[in-house]
């Protein structure tokens, strides 16, 4: 009885506003960090936390300028059953004698960062320092895209995917595996597994080729669900299956995926976020060409649609009127470009966000686009080449070579890239864009100075700034 009453009280506090910590009445801000695989989530969180703890390079934050942050420390997180974001090991990887990039995000994890803040307001001197807990929730962007599946039946989802597949070379093996399969024949597990394996192979290859419409997201990042029936289905042609058929069993598993995988994730994590940063590797998409850029823009609209109040019946019911307050879209790895090009990268991210907002009919949360590098791996230099001054970035590649490169000139007007992307162009007419894989820098560190970055402080100011002063 008592536990059910406390459970009720805790729940009502949460629904009043997640800004109250159940135990101590200390404010809590839940910040989601997402983005597709390799967008830069792990590096972002590690660099952000470290730079907040040693804020010498975070001068764009008002709280740093004003000196309101009196202490920052890591605390045990409130969610006992969630893996902790492995901050210490990730930082050790980035700052060791031979720095290396940490392993990226594979599943959801959490980290609580607590602030002691200077008192404010009329009674500040009486109340003493304030506390603020920031719960950072890291989760794969692939999982957000799954929200789109909630409103679809198995037949609808299958039809959509099967229309897409013939245009993609990555799907050849799956389409071959489908040949000779009679969806209305009696279900047999070996066939279901063979098809699910081939379909997962397609998703993995499509993802590697830069496509982001690769749902179900858990097929790519299964966590502890690998091999379970809920991940053993694939799209099949047809509209309705007879009892006991392969089609019917696949449909049953698709429904289980919705209710047992997607729904709990949104209930437990997503619905409780106050702020969200979505990391996008825009440069990689530009490098891959118009189709990849267009696909990224579509994925941004889908992400925004997930946050749109009222967009999805299932999700609106979960939110009970709660809204995410701010969403930041950050184009990562800006250190691949000389700063003379950063404004163009930001303009491109802004234009993509604007269109994504229009597409998703999004209103509500405050949104912003930025270009950042969570960890700056390059230095800038200018050289004269054939009588012309060229802006370059220099760094060490992951294979050990030192290079100075110009990754390609982004256009002043983002429409020069976005229009051909929308029109389905096969490749860029002007310009060629390369992507290098730089190793993390070897640093000489000064206490109080976090890691070098580009506009990580501007990102932090947008996401957290108002709560730190």
Out of 77, 105, 341, 367, which residue is the one contacting ligand GDP (CB under 6 A)?
105
Does position 245 interact with ligand GDP (CB under 6 A)? The reply is no
Residue closest to 308 by CA, chosen among 364, 366, 358: 364
- List CB contacts of 143: < 8 A, sequence separation 6 or more: 34, 108, 217, 218, 221, 262, 265
User: Distances from the Cα of 412 to the Cαs of 59, 348, 351, 421, in angstroms?
Assistant: 28, 9, 12, 16
The span from the CA of 185 to the CA of 273, in Å, is: 45
In sequence order, the 6+-apart residues with CB closer than 8 A to the CB of 343 are none
Q: Minimal distance in Å, beta carbon 35 to ligand GDP?
A: 5
Show the tokens assigned to 321.
Answer: 């009127």
- Is 332 an interacting residue with respect to ligand GDP (CB under 6 A)? yes
Please list every residue from 423 through 442 that binds ligand GDP, using CB under 6 A.
Answer: 437-438
Q: Which is nearer to ligand GDP, 437 or 445 (CB)?
A: 437
Q: Is 414 in the site for ligand GDP (CB under 6 A)?
A: no
CB atoms < 10 A from the CB of 106, how many?
A: 14
Q: How far apart are CA 340 and CA 320, in angstroms?
A: 45
The DSSP line for 379-412 is EEEEEEETTEEEEEEEEEBTTS-EEEE---PPPS
Strand partners, 403: 395
# binding residues, ligand GDP (CB under 6 A): 20
77 binds ligand GDP (CB under 6 A): no
Of the candidate spans 10-18, 35-43, 337-345, 352-360, the one that interacts with ligand GDP by CB under 6 A turns out to be 35-43
For ligand GDP, the closer CB: 307 or 438: 438
The answer to whether residue 374 forms part of the interface with ligand GDP (CB under 6 A) is: yes
8-state DSSP, 175: H
- When the beta carbons of 232 and 346 are compared against ligand GDP, the nearer one is 346
Closer residue to ligand GDP, CB minimum distance, 165 or 436: 436
Helices 290-307 & 415-422 angle (0-180, nearest 10): 90
Q: Is 377 in the site for ligand GDP (CB under 6 A)?
A: yes
Stretches 30-38, 210-218, 267-275, 317-325: which one binds ligand GDP (CB under 6 A)?
A: 30-38
Options 98-106, 200-208, 256-264, 285-293: segment touching ligand GDP (CB under 6 A): 98-106
Q: Which of 352, 353, 373, 393 binds ligand GDP (CB under 6 A)?
A: 373
Q: Which of 106, 109, 102 is nearest to 220 (CA)?
A: 106
As measured in angstroms, the least distance from the Cβ of 375 to ligand GDP is 4
Which of 42, 276, 296, 312 is in the footprint of ligand GDP by CB under 6 A?
42
Q: Quick check: 394 binds ligand GDP (CB under 6 A)?
A: no
Which range in 23-31, 101-109, 167-175, 184-192 contacts ligand GDP by CB under 6 A? 101-109
Identify which of residues 133 and 275 has a Cβ nearer to ligand GDP in the complex: 275
Q: By C-alpha distance, which of 286, 297, 146, 356 is closest to 230?
A: 146
Least distance (Å) from ligand GDP to the CB of residue 142?
A: 10
Residue facing ligand GDP at closest CB distance: 104
H-state helical runs in 412-453: 415-422
Task: Give yes or no for residue 142 binding ligand GDP (CB under 6 A).
Answer: no
375 binds ligand GDP (CB under 6 A): yes
Residues 6+ apart with CB under 8 A from 94: 43, 46, 47, 100, 101, 102, 375, 440, 451
- For residue 360, give both structure tokens: 């998703």
Which one of residues 86, 142, 249, 335 is an interface residue with ligand GDP (CB under 6 A)? 335
Backbone angles phi, psi at 98, to 5 degrees: -115, 90
Q: Which residue, 69 or 286, is less far from ligand GDP as judged by CB? A: 286
Measured from the CB atom, the residue of 389 and 399 that comes closer to ligand GDP is: 399
108 forms part of the interface with ligand GDP (CB under 6 A): no
> Helix, strand, or coil here: 192?
helix
360 near ligand GDP, judged by CB under 6 A: no
Query: In the numeric block, which tokens belong to residue 169?
Result: 């070379």
Query: Least distance in Å: CB of 294 to ligand GDP?
Result: 21
Give the neighbor-by-neighbor strand order of the sheet with 402-405.
379-385, 388-396, 402-405
Q: Which is nearer to ligand GDP, 273 or 377 (CB)?
A: 377
For residue 96, the 8-state DSSP code is S
Residues that bind ligand GDP (CB under 6 A): 35, 37-43, 101, 104-105, 332-333, 335, 373-375, 377, 437-438
């Amino acid at each position: 009885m008592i536990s059910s009453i406390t459970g009720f009280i805790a729940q009502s506090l949460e629904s009043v506003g997640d800004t109250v910590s159940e135990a101590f009445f200390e404010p809590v801000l839940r910040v989601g960090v997402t983005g597709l695989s390799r967008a830069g989530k792990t590096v972002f969180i590690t660099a952000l936390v470290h730079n907040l703890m040693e804020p010498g390079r975070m001068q764009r934050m008002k709280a740093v300028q004003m000196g309101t942050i009196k202490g920052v420390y890591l605390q045990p997180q409130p969610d006992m059953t969630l893996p902790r974001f492995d901050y210490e090991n990730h930082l050790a990887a980035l700052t060791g004698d031979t720095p290396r990039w940490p392993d990226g995000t594979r599943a959801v994890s959490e980290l609580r960062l607590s602030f002691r803040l200077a008192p404010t307001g009329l009674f500040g001197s009486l109340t003493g320092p304030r506390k603020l807990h920031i719960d950072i929730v890291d989760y794969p962007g692939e999982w957000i895209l799954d929200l789109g599946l909630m409103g679809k039946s198995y037949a609808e989802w299958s039809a959509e995917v099967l229309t897409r597949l013939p245009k993609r070379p990555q799907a050849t093996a799956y389409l071959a595996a489908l040949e000779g399969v009679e969806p209305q024949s009696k279900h047999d597990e070996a066939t279901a597994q063979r098809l699910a394996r081939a379909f997962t192979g397609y998703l993995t290859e499509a993802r590697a080729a830069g496509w982001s419409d690769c749902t179900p997201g858990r097929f790519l990042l299964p966590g502890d669900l690998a091999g379970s029936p809920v991940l053993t289905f694939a799209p099949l042609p047809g509209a309705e299956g007879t009892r006991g058929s392969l089609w019917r069993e696949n449909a049953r598993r698709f429904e289980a995926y919705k209710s047992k995988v997607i729904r709990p994730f949104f209930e437990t994590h997503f619905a409780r976020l106050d702020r969200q940063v979505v990391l996008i590797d825009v440069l990689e998409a530009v490098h891959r060409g118009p189709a990849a850029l267009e696909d990224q823009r579509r994925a941004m609209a889908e992400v925004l649609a997930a946050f749109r109040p009222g967009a999805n019946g299932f999700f609106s019911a979960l939110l009970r009127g709660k809204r995410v307050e701010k969403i930041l879209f950050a184009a990562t790895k800006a250190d691949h470009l000389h700063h003379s090009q950063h404004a163009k990268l930001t303009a491109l991210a802004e234009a993509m966000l604007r269109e994504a907002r229009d597409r998703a009919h999004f209103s509500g949360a405050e949104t912003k686009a930025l270009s950042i590098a969570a960890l700056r791996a390059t230095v800038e230099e200018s050289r004269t080449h054939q009588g012309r001054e060229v802006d370059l970035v220099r760094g060490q590649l992951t294979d050990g070579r030192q290079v100075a490169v110009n990754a390609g000139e982004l256009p002043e007007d983002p429409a020069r890239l976005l229009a051909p992307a929308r029109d389905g162009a096969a490749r860029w007419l002007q310009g060629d864009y390369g992507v290098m894989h730089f190793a993390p820098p070897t640093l000489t560190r000064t206490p109080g100075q976090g890691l070098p970055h580009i506009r990580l402080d501007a990102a932090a100011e947008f996401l957290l700034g108002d709560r730190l002063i």
